[in-house]
A and B are shown apart, each in its own frame.
Chain A
Amino acid sequence: MSTAILPDDPLLRERFTELRPPLAPQAAVIEANRCLNCFDAPCTAACPTHIDVPGFIKRISSGNLRGSALRILDANIMGGSCARACPVQVLCEGACVMHRYNREPIQIALLQRHAVDAFYDSGEELPCAAPAAGSLRVACIGAGPASLACAAELRRQGASATILERRALPGGLNTYGVAEYKLRSADSLREVEMIHRMGVEFRFAADIATAADLDDIESEFDLVFLGLGLGAMQRLGLPGDDAEGVLNALELISAYKTGHIRELSGTVVVVGAGNTAIDAANAARRLGAETVYMVYRRSEKDISAFDFEYEHARQEGVQFLWRRQPVAIRTDDQGALFLDTVQVRHTDGELVPIPDSEFTIECDLVVPAIGQSPLTKLVQQLRQVEVCDGLIVTDRATGQTSHPRYFAGGDCVNGGREVVDAVADGKRAALAMLKSKEVHHG
C-alpha cells in the first residue's frame, strides 16, 4: 500500500513540541491508582465511543497493559489519536467525579495514550476475523476517522472494507488538520497503518465525481459509507478574498504538517474564533509570525472555541480583536497585503458597523477560518440522499441515510465535531450494516 510515511522534520518537532507529553510508566500507575473505578462511570457515558474508562485504567494499575489497550481499541479503534486530539475537558475528564472530590480529574487522555502507545510499540496485531466468502463488502468514501472506524469495525467482524480517498495520505483531518502539538501526522499514519494491517483495503487518488463513479462503486460493493468530511473552507466573500496571501486555516495547518510551509514571518491575521481558527493562529505563532491577530465580529463571550483553547491561544501570544469585521483585502504594487476592517456593534441581533471606525491591518497572511462548507451534492443529486443545510441526514443510531445502501457519519453529518464523534458514527454505521446484512440473509 498504502499508508505513506511523512519524513521526520526535526524543526517541526521542535516548534510543535507536544502540549501534553506522555506519562512515564510509574507515573501512569500512580495516576491510574487515583481512579475511583466509578460504577457506570460518567467518563464512559460522556465519551461518544463509550470507552470503558475505569476498566482500562484499572488494567494499567494492575500491569495488564495489553488488556488495557484492547479494552480501549475495542470501543474506539482510534483510541491513540483520540487520546491526543479529544477536547477531554468537555468529555471524559470534564465528567470525572473528581471535580467534586479533590478537584483534579483523572488524566484519562494521558492514561489512554500510555496504554495504546504500549500496544503499538509491542508491534502486535489486533485480533481480527478473516473475511468469509460471501461476506459483506463495503466501500467507505473518505479516509478520515469516520471511514477508518467504520472499516475497522467491519473487518473485525469478518466483513470486507475498502477505503476510497482522493488525497495522497489517509487519516483525514487526523493527518492534515489537527494541530501538530496535539497529534503528530506521523502518529495518525501509524494508527491508519494498524487499520490497514487488519485487512482494510485502501485506494488513493480516488476522485468520485460522476454518476459512472457511483455506478462502479455500487456494482462492486454491497453498501457504501460516506465519510466525506467537509469541503473547502468558505471564502470570506469580500473584495480581494482570492488575493495571494489568503490561505484558509485548514490549508495552513495541512501545509505546515506536511512540510509545505516551514516558516512564517511578519503579521498574520486569522478571521474567526473557532477551535480551528485557534489552531491556525497558534501555528502561525510557532512558525515564526511576530504578530498574530484573531479578528472576530462578535465578543469574547460568543466564541465557539473551547475555553481551554482560547486560554491556550492567549498564552501563545495571539492577540484578539473583538467586534471587528473584515470588509476588504487589498494588495499594493509592492506586494503588501492589507485587511480593511470596521468595528461593529450588536443591535437587535444585527451587527451594525460603527461610523468612522475603519481600521486597516497591514499583514503578510490572511487566514479565513469561519466555518466549512459541505460537499455532499453528488449523492444528493444522483442518489436522492437527503441533505439538510449541507449536511447528510441520517438515522442517529444506525447512520443510515434516506437511501438504504448509503450510510454516513462524521463531519459530513454533524457539521464538524471531533475525531471521537466521527469514530462513534463510523462504528455505529458498521454495526448497523452488519445487522442489515444479517436481516437480509436471515
Chain B
Amino acid sequence: MADLRVRGFAGAINAPNPFWLASAPPTNTGEMIMRAFDAGWGGAVWKTIGEPITNVSSRYSATDWNSQRIMGFNNIELISDRTVETNLREMAEVKRRYPRHAVIASLMVASTREAWHEIVKRTEDAGADGLELNFGCPHGMSERGMGSAVGQVPEYTETITAWVKEKARTPVLVKLTPNITDIRAIARAAKRGGADGLSAINTINSITGIDLDTLTPRPNVDGKSTHGGYCGPAVKPIALNMVAQILSDPSAALPLSGIGGIGTWRDAAEFILLGCGSVQVCTAAMHYGYRIVEDMAEGLDNWMRSKGFHTIEEFRGLSLPRVTDWNNLNLNYKIVARIDEQKCIGCDLCHIACWDGAHQCIHLDRVSGPVNGHVELHDSPSVIEARSRASIAFTPVTRKEREVDPASHGPYPTPLARIPRVDETECVGCNLCSLVCPVDDCITMVRVDNGLQPETWEERTRVESAESTK
C-alpha cells in the first residue's frame, strides 16, 4: 500500500489522505463530516461559517448529457444557515473524535478587521486545523459585499488575507473564484497578503438551462431564477488550467488544494500531477454519496504502485513543467492518424469528422494499399450518401442470400468498403478522428520522421527577426 498521507500541507495541515470534502452541503454538519470520515475521507472543509443566511427553494440544477445525469451541477445555495455557535460546537466534537483528520473551517464574514479577527479566534478555539477564506461564492453573498465581491478585487483579497493573518495561528487558505479574467491576479494578492495556501477553483457563474415548457431558467424559484455556481465533471478542464496557471507563476504559487469536477482517482491524480497537495470533492459526493472515496483511495493506490510512486509527494507536480506556452511547442513535431483495420467497426465517424470538421484527408474510396498525394479526386460525403440511398437493397430471404461474401471483407471484420483510409500527406495530425472513434486504440496518432530538428515559434521568430535586422 502506497502512503497516501498528506503532511504539513500549507505548513501544518495533516490528513490520512488527500481526498477532502469541499466546503458545501456534504460538510454541513458535524454528524455528516464524521460519517464522511468513517467512509474514508481524509479531510473536510466545513460548510462556510458566518452570519446565518436564509436560503431559497429550489437551489440546484444540472446539465445532463446523453442520458447521463449531472455532467455539470449548479447551485444557488448560500453559506451555512446554522449559527456560528452550533457549527463551532460541532467542530470541536468532530476534532475531539477525529484528531487525525483535517478539519478546515471555511469562513465568510463582513469585510471588517474586527469581524474577521473575531471569527478566526472563535474557529481556532474550536479546534480547526486550518482556515479557508471563502472569497469565491459567486451568488447571493457577493451582492452583500462578500464572497466573490472580495475575490474579484486583488486589493480586497490582499487586505482581508492580511487581517486574518494578523490573528491566525493555523494555516490560512484563500479560496479563489474563477469568475475573473486572470486568476493569477488574485492568487498573487493572496500571497502578498500572507496566505499559506490556496484552494481553487470555486464555482463558475452559470445558468444551466431553461425549461422549454415554462420558459423559466433552472433552478426555478417561483417562476424566476438567478445565476448560480457551476461545478461537476464539466468544469474539470477549466480547473486544471487555472491550477496550472497559478502554480506556474512564482509570484502566485502556494500550496494548493485542487477543486473542480473531481470524482475519481484519475481526476485526483491529474490535479496532484499539476502540483496540488490535496483535492476537494463536492458534486460527486452529492451525486453518489461519501462511498465514492473508497475507489478514489484504492484506485490512486493501485496507480501509484503501478508507477512506482510511494508517496503523494513523489509524483506531485510532475506534469506541471510539461504545461508551457504555445510559443514553446515544437513546430516540427509531426504525427498522422493510423487506422487499425482489424479494430475498425465501420462507423465512419472519422471520415465525416475529417471532412466536415478538419482537413478532408480520411477517405472512403479505398483502393488497395496506402495512397497519398494531392492529385486524387475523392467523393465527398454527400456523394457517398446519395449513392447509398440510390442503391437497391432487399431482405435476404434465402440462406444463400444471407451468406456473407468473404471478398467484401478481405481479412477484416468490417466490410472493406467501410474501412476508411488516411491520406498521410494531407493529415495535419489534429487528433480529431482519434477522438471521435468509438473503439479504443483503433485510430492512433503515429509520429512520422520529417527529418526536421525541433523548432519552436519562439526560436523561429527569433531567427527571423535576427535575419531581418542584418
Q: Which of A75-132 contact B (CB under 8 A)?
A: 86-87, 90-91, 97-98, 100-101
Residue numbers in B under 8 Å from A396 (CB-CB): 392
Residue numbers in A under 8 Å from B414 (CB-CB): 97, 100
Q: At the interface, yes or no: B351 with Cβ under 8 Å from chain A?
A: yes
Q: At the interface, yes or no: B397 with Cβ under 8 Å from chain A?
A: yes
Most central of B66, B348, B393 by chain A CB within 10 Å: B393
Select B345's contact among A46, A87, A101, A418, beta carbons within 8 Å.
A101
Shortest beta-carbon distance from A234 to chain B in Å: 17
B395 pairs with A421, CB closer than 8 A: yes
Q: At the interface, yes or no: A146 with Cβ under 8 Å from chain B?
A: no
Alpha-carbon gap, A420 to B364, bound state (A): 28
Select B384's contact among A29, A33, A40, beta carbons within 8 Å.
A40
A39 pairs with B381, CB closer than 8 A: yes
A100 pairs with B346, CB closer than 8 A: yes
Select B67's contact among A29, A40, A304, A424, beta carbons within 8 Å.
A29
1/0 contact trace for A30-71 toward B, CB 8 Å? Answer: 100100111110101111101000000000010000000000
Residue numbers in A under 8 Å from B67 (CB-CB): 29-30, 33, 61
Asked if A421 meets B347 with Cβ closer than 8 Å, knowing A45-B388, A100-B413, A304-B399, the reply is no
Alpha-carbon gap, A104 to B388, bound state (A): 24
Q: At the interface, yes or no: A314 with Cβ under 8 Å from chain B?
A: no
Select B347's contact among A29, A30, A97, A397, beta carbons within 8 Å.
A97
Residue numbers in A under 8 Å from B389 (CB-CB): 44, 50
B438 pairs with A36, CB closer than 8 A: yes
Q: At the interface, yes or no: B453 with Cβ under 8 Å from chain A?
A: no
A46 pairs with B397, CB closer than 8 A: no
Alpha-carbon gap, A38 to B397, bound state (A): 26
B385 pairs with A90, CB closer than 8 A: no
Residue numbers in A under 8 Å from B469 (CB-CB): none
A44 pairs with B392, CB closer than 8 A: no
A39 pairs with B395, CB closer than 8 A: no
A90 pairs with B396, CB closer than 8 A: yes
A37 pairs with B349, CB closer than 8 A: yes
Q: At the interface, yes or no: B418 with Cβ under 8 Å from chain A?
A: yes
Most central of B351, B364, B395, B402 by chain A CB within 10 Å: B395
Q: At the interface, yes or no: A414 with Cβ under 8 Å from chain B?
A: yes
Residue numbers in B under 8 Å from A48 (CB-CB): 392-395
B381 pairs with A40, CB closer than 8 A: yes
Residue numbers in A under 8 Å from B398 (CB-CB): 304
Residue numbers in B under 8 Å from A33 (CB-CB): 66-67
A44 pairs with B388, CB closer than 8 A: yes
Select A36's contact among B349, B399, B402, beta carbons within 8 Å.
B349
Residue numbers in B under 8 Å from A30 (CB-CB): 67
Q: At the interface, yes or no: A288 with Cβ under 8 Å from chain B?
A: no
Q: At the interface, yes or no: B391 with Cβ under 8 Å from chain A?
A: yes
Shortest beta-carbon distance from A39 to chain B in Å: 4
Alpha-carbon gap, A61 to B381, bound state (A): 24
Q: Nearest chain-A residue to B402 (Cβ)?
A: A90
Q: Nearest chain-A residue to B413 (Cβ)?
A: A100
Shortest beta-carbon distance from B64 to chain A in Å: 10
Alpha-carbon gap, A100 to B346, bound state (A): 9
Q: At the interface, yes or no: A416 with Cβ under 8 Å from chain B?
A: yes
Alpha-carbon gap, A33 to B351, bound state (A): 21
B397 pairs with A101, CB closer than 8 A: no
Residue numbers in B under 8 Å from A61 (CB-CB): 66-67
Residue numbers in B under 8 Å from A97 (CB-CB): 345-347, 414
Number of interface residues of A (CB under 8 A): 37
B393 pairs with A39, CB closer than 8 A: no
Q: At the interface, yes or no: A383 with Cβ under 8 Å from chain B?
A: no
Alpha-carbon gap, A397 to B384, bound state (A): 19
Alpha-carbon gap, A37 to B438, bound state (A): 11
Residue numbers in B under 8 Å from A50 (CB-CB): 388-389, 391, 393
Asked if A42 meets B418 with Cβ closer than 8 Å, knowing A29-B67, A100-B346, the reply is yes
Select A38's contact among B349, B392, B394, B399, beta carbons within 8 Å.
B349
Alpha-carbon gap, A301 to B418, bound state (A): 31
Residue numbers in B under 8 Å from A44 (CB-CB): 388-389
Alpha-carbon gap, A38 to B439, bound state (A): 13
Q: At the interface, yes or no: A417 with Cβ under 8 Å from chain B?
A: yes
Q: At the interface, yes or no: B352 with Cβ under 8 Å from chain A?
A: yes
Q: Nearest chain-A residue to B352 (Cβ)?
A: A39
Asked if A39 meets B347 with Cβ closer than 8 Å, knowing A48-B394, A420-B395, the reply is yes
Q: Nearest chain-A residue to B350 (Cβ)?
A: A39
Alpha-carbon gap, A90 to B395, bound state (A): 7
Residue numbers in B under 8 Å from A421 (CB-CB): 394-395
Shortest beta-carbon distance from B312 to chain A in Å: 36
Q: Which of A357-388 contact B (CB under 8 A)?
A: none
Alpha-carbon gap, A128 to B363, bound state (A): 39
A417 pairs with B388, CB closer than 8 A: no
Q: Which of B357-383 contact A (CB under 8 A)?
A: 364, 381
Asked if A418 meets B397 with Cβ closer than 8 Å, knowing A36-B347, A97-B345, A397-B392, the reply is yes
Residue numbers in B under 8 Å from A91 (CB-CB): 395
Q: Nearest chain-A residue to B400 (Cβ)?
A: A304
Shortest beta-carbon distance from A119 to chain B in Å: 20
Shortest beta-carbon distance from A75 to chain B in Å: 9
Residue numbers in A under 8 Å from B418 (CB-CB): 42
Q: Nearest chain-A residue to B386 (Cβ)?
A: A40
Alpha-carbon gap, A40 to B392, bound state (A): 15
A417 pairs with B397, CB closer than 8 A: yes
Shortest beta-carbon distance from B217 to chain A in Å: 18
Residue numbers in B under 8 Å from A29 (CB-CB): 67
Asked if A40 meets B388 with Cβ closer than 8 Å, knowing A30-B67, A90-B402, A101-B438, the reply is yes
Known pairs A37-B349, A38-B349, A39-B349 / 20 extra A-B pairs, C-beta < 8 Å: A30-B67, A36-B347, A38-B347, A39-B381, A40-B348, A40-B364, A40-B384, A40-B388, A45-B388, A86-B395, A91-B395, A97-B345, A97-B346, A97-B347, A97-B414, A304-B399, A396-B392, A416-B397, A417-B394, A417-B397
* Sample (23) of A-B pairs whose CB atoms are under 8 Å apart: A29-B67, A36-B347, A36-B349, A39-B347, A39-B348, A39-B352, A39-B381, A39-B385, A40-B381, A40-B385, A45-B388, A45-B391, A45-B393, A46-B393, A48-B394, A61-B66, A101-B345, A304-B397, A304-B399, A397-B392, A417-B397, A420-B395, A421-B395
Residues of B within 8 A of A (CB): 66-67, 345-349, 351-352, 364, 381, 384-385, 388-389, 391-399, 402, 413-414, 418, 438-439
Q: Which 3 A-B pairs have the closest CB atoms?
A: A39-B352, A39-B348, A100-B345
